[in-house]
Chain A
Amino acid sequence: MSSSRPVRLLVIQLTRLGDTLQSLMALRAAKQLYPRLEIHFVARERFAAAAKRVPWLEGVVALPTEKILLPVLQSRKNGESRTVQEAARWLGPLVKHPWDLVVNWSYSESSSFLTGIVPGRVKLGYSRTVEQNRDGARQTKLTCPDGWSHYVQAVVQGGVHQNIHLTDVLTTQLLTALQIHFGEPADNGDAPVTSKSFFSLKPHTMADHDLGPRWRDRTKKWIAIQLGAGQAEKTWDPENWAELAREILCGHSEYGVILLGGKEDQERADAFRGRLPGLGYDPSAVVSVVGQSDFDLWASVVSRCQWLFSCDTAAVHLASVLGTRVLNVSVGPVRWTETGPYGNGHFVVASNTPCPACQDRDSGLVHACSKAVTPAAVYGAWSFAAHDAMFRNQTTLEHHFARLGVRSELDRVRIFRSRIRGATDGGGVVYDPLTSHPMQLSDWTAMVMGHIARAWYCGWVPPVGQELSRPRISPELVKKLRELDEASQVLSKVCEEATRTASTLNKRGSRLRSDKIMKIHDRDEIKGLGKQLQDLDSLIERLGEAQAPLHAFSQMARVLMHNLRGAQIAELGREGAACYQQLGEGVGILREWIKFTLNLAKPVAIKIEPLALVERL
Chain B
Amino acid sequence: MDDDSKFDGGSMAADMTRLQGEVVGTIEQQESDLEALLLGFVRALLAENGLCPDPIAEIPPRDKESV
Contact = CB atoms under 8 A, between A and B. Distances in A.
B59 A117 contact: no
Given A84-B27, A109-B65, A157-B65, A129 B6 contact: yes
Contacts of B66: 157-159
B2 A119 contact: no
A108 B27 contact: no
A250 interface: no
Given A117-B34, A123-B2, A123-B5, A156 B42 contact: no
Task: Tell which of B3, B39, B63 has the most Cβ of chain A within 10 Å.
Answer: B63
Contact of B20 (A92, A97, A140, A143): A92
A87 B42 contact: yes
A252 B2 CA distance: 56
Contacts of B63: 142, 562
B67 A130 contact: no
A109 B56 contact: yes
B5 A98 contact: yes
A350 B31 CA distance: 53
Contact of A142 (B20, B47, B59): B59
A521 interface: no
Contacts of B1: 122-124, 145-146, 177, 180-181
A518 interface: no
A85 interface: yes
Interface string B10-34: 0011001101100011110001011
B54 interface: no
Nearest to A85: B24
A367 interface: no
A122 B5 CA distance: 7
Contacts of B35: 84
A386 interface: no
A109 B6 contact: no
Nearest to A565: B2
Interface string B36-56: 111111101111110100011
A107 B59 CA distance: 14
B24 A84 contact: yes
B38 A128 contact: no
Most buried by A among B38, B49, B59: B38
A69 B42 contact: yes
Given A145-B2, A180-B1, A98 B9 contact: yes
A83 interface: yes
Nearest to A133: B58
Interface string A578-597: 00000000000000000000
A109 B46 contact: no
A83 B64 CA distance: 23
Contacts of B31: 138
Contact of B2 (A107, A122, A156): A122
Given A87-B42, A114-B41, A180-B1, A109 B55 contact: yes
A80 interface: yes
A81 B16 contact: no
Nearest to B33: A130
Contact of A84 (B17, B19, B62): B19
Contacts of A69: 42, 45-46, 49, 51
A114 B9 CA distance: 14
Contacts of A65: 45, 49
Given A81-B25, A109-B44, A110-B44, 6 more contacts: A72-B42, A80-B42, A81-B26, A109-B64, A110-B45, A120-B5
8 contacts: A84-B19, A88-B16, A89-B20, A107-B65, A108-B44, A109-B44, A117-B7, A120-B2
